[in-house]
Structure 1
């Protein structure tokens, strides 16, 4: 008997994509509620959970997609093609403005980004999964987190100074990004999807693979709850020595976000897959075409910002100022209302694609 699809994974994926769109498309960046912004440096906001949640879900998806696969040339080819598609889509968003074929200035073009990191993490994690059992993968994950902590916290920089985790100072993640990527970064001093910080993000995905292994054998939700609690305790404890930090994807950040992801998945799994409660089905529609909807939302958002309306406005600002800005709303609420409308549009799109049985594989 074929085991039915675990709906809670699709629902959590859809919630994550909707959250990505929500925090990426406020009416105005000058009026955003603090939970919908990233932490300025150390710390954790709800927004900081979104990307690691997605990589965690990528790991679960890798487990179910490749659990019966063997490492053949054809499988490697498919993994590589999918990875290059993700990287290519990310570069497309960074390189092209909507009025093809004009390009951004190459001297300051950002090379990395969300889709590029997903592509890199997917490639490495899928290859590792094809070759190693869950015990080895767990060992690799632990090794990544310990070595990364040691590298960033204890290995002197080339000028002999000891690294720190403060933004005002420097560490190997920031140092290598600055010296390899140069001006091709998101910020002058670091890139949140940088080179070295991509390594612990692989650990986030490997943890997802391990959770996928558990889900495939799960008869009740207690083991998943215990694992989530263990991750949270370990992560918040490690925070005293290696601060929770999304920008450099610290080891404590990996553990804490994996803990919250496991906990939320456990709750949805209990409600949907165990109790068969019709909860969050609307997000499942988005989750079934997650990358496609995320890419479209990013591309259309860029188009809105870059398409002029009159002499002083673009499509985005025109819609926001003329529809959502009202005297009886606060600026923050108006900004949030715009973002919610955008999310509702993509939920509707996801529903239409689902009903028409259109599932675009990237």
Structure 2
């Protein structure tokens, strides 16, 4: 090397001078001159560069060999994942999906199987667990969502807006606007619209639970059972106050006699008209839990009005009101007049006790937040569920029966305890043991519970299909499918059950498609975000300097020129999703074939790009690196070139002479070697 030659020559000259001094005679020499200061020592030579820093053809004096300034720190791609929300609790999604499927089953097949339909008034059946399951899941979800609500004002605004949306959606779906199956008309009289319903009750319970989670809990750190109680004791006080208010009003208010309007068709007249009569229900009692004289109905009639209540109450299937009890049927002889009176099973007063179920779900969610051991979670959940069941049976034995229309305290304890045991079981099977594949359909449905509820439980999709019929509205696709199943099963009941099971399967698969599409869109968006974070761009002048190559940042990432807006995930078109899948399949096949043939896959994952990595050559034609080294990830001695006839400049692309033009080196993202 040149530096070694310079050092050797310098040493040889010093040795020659020493030999001349020794061979010179002292007599012939002149007197020694006065001592002079020693000449300044030459500056030390710079240290030799490391072997992998030496370019094969550039001289040592090349200024490019000096170490470049350190690049600005890059934000790792994993930062997007760190800022992403925590993964969902799979067992909670499965539990929610099972609840939606159970709701479709009991709503559509409950008429064929009265044993699984709602209890007429007292008692508990399979259908009576659907509403408490939803409320319990709402409470658990609220505890997980608002576990760290630093901005309470923003969280409160979010809760209020979501409550309003759920309530309005419930009024549209269950207020009487849609007239149900086999009726293609729609519209509602505002004088008789129903204000309360399932979604309205869920929205009220969600509002109370979320407000308590945002404003009532303290900021202490939970490090012991005592601190756990101190952090959430205010929520338990609110739960006790709601329960005491409900019980006090239920047994303390006096229920007087009341009247309601009854419209009946006039059969004596030739024209079809209706007569309106005023019926009186004799009450004058206090603490009654029967259908005609309870406080729940009194509060609803007082604040909502009888015209805005549910006109087909569940007690029409009692023995006093139906000859086919526990199913709907004609009125028996000498039936009381209250059998035709309205009553809302999702009333105002009963919603207070329903909200307590949300607070119980909050407690189960707090256990998830503060206890990370699976065994501790399941033990605490099991003990809490057992205590709820014991309290439920104690209250039942004390004289308060199970009643879903009244949402009695015994009913709340029983259903909340069963909900806790089911969550514990699902958590052990799905999250602890990882046995998820048999429940993946219900998990998909649970992740899209609201849209399935709107389209399936409220029969909007069924009503839409019934709009296409042949000659008569009764000859539509839905009725034809149900009739075909009933014919094959030789039973109306089992044919109806088969149709309902097919409906549940259909909505599970539809939820799976929605879930997969959402995952693809998120993966594409996160892929673009990761690429944007990996590209090295100078924050001031937006130019990257790499040795003798100065690159405009718009060439590194062209989207940066036209992107001056906030980054936010957005849905990708379906065509881009298909092209993304096709490209992934092509890359995978290319890598597999290369590995099978014993070849090293190319650095770009097998895709044919406009630019390729080739060895850099010197002016004398010396090759800088091996071709395979460049293709498989080498950086030293490699450049990216355009194909013949294309040259990239800072201003854009232009046609050039034949041959390859050296262009900027870029960050690669799909290195496979």
TM-score strictly above 0.5:
yes
User: What displacement does 1:166 show?
Assistant: 1.4
User: What displacement does 1:68 show?
Assistant: 0.5
Going by fraction, where is strand more abundant, 1 or 2?
Answer: 2
In 2 relative to 1, CA 32–273 (structure 1 residues): closer, same or farther, beyond 3 Å? same
Q: Distance in 1 between matches of 2:203 and 2:418?
A: 23
Partner residue of 1:171 out of 274, 294, 300: 294
Q: Distance in 1 between matches of 2:122 and 2:132?
A: 16
Q: Distance in 1 between matches of 2:293 and 2:466?
A: 34
Tell me whether 94-103 or 316-325 shows the greater mean CA deviation. Answer: 94-103
Classify the secondary structure of the residue corresponding to 2:307. coil
Q: Distance in 1 between matches of 2:87 and 2:178?
A: 42
- The question of whether the paired residues in 2 share the 8 Å contact of 1:59 and 1:125 is answered with yes
- Structure number with higher relative contact order (C-alpha < 8 Å, ≥ 6 residues apart): 1
- Structure 1 spans left out of the alignment, 5+ residues: none
Hey, what does 1:121 align to over in structure 2? 205
Partner residue of 1:252 out of 410, 420, 437: 410
Q: Distance in 1 between matches of 2:477 and 2:122?
A: 31
Tell me whether 192-201 or 96-105 shows the greater mean CA deviation. Answer: 96-105
Partner residue of 1:340 out of 491, 494, 501: 501
Deviations 1:111-152 (A, max 9, x none): 211111111221121111111232211222233223312321
User: What displacement does 1:329 show?
Assistant: 3.5
1:19 aligns to 2:114 (yes or no): no
Classify the secondary structure of the residue corresponding to 1:111. coil
TM-score by length of 2: 0.50
Aligned residues: 355
- The question of whether the paired residues in 2 share the 8 Å contact of 1:200 and 1:250 is answered with yes
- Structure 2 spans left out of the alignment, 5+ residues: 1-81, 218-231, 258-283, 314-340, 522-673
1:182 aligns to 2:311 (yes or no): no
Classify the secondary structure of the residue corresponding to 1:107. coil
Tell me whether 207-216 or 278-287 shows the greater mean CA deviation. Answer: 278-287
In 2 relative to 1, CA 30–266 (structure 1 residues): closer, same or farther, beyond 3 Å? closer
Partner residue of 1:285 out of 437, 441, 444: 444
Q: Distance in 1 between matches of 2:235 and 2:496?
A: 43
Hey, what does 2:74 align to over in structure 1? none
- The question of whether the paired residues in 1 share the 8 Å contact of 2:285 and 2:293 is answered with no
Hey, what does 2:216 align to over in structure 1? 132
- The question of whether the paired residues in 1 share the 8 Å contact of 2:483 and 2:495 is answered with no
In 2 relative to 1, CA 245–74 (structure 1 residues): closer, same or farther, beyond 3 Å? same
Deviations 1:275-333 (A, max 9, x none): 22225222111111111111121222444577765446264762355322126433221
User: What displacement does 1:108 show?
Assistant: 2.6
Hey, what does 1:146 align to over in structure 2? 244
- Which residues of 2 match residues 154-233 of structure 1 at below 5 A? 154-157=252-255, 161-167=285-291, 169-179=292-302, 180-186=304-310, 187=313, 188-216=341-369, 217-219=371-373, 220=375, 221-233=378-390
Classify the secondary structure of the residue corresponding to 2:507. helix
- Which residues of 2 match residues 269-348 of structure 1 at below 5 A? 269-278=427-436, 279-297=438-456, 298=458, 299-303=460-464, 310-311=471-472, 313=474, 315=476, 318-326=479-487, 328-348=489-509
Greater gyration radius: 2
In 2 relative to 1, CA 235–322 (structure 1 residues): closer, same or farther, beyond 3 Å? same
Q: Distance in 2 between matches of 1:328 and 1:270?
A: 37
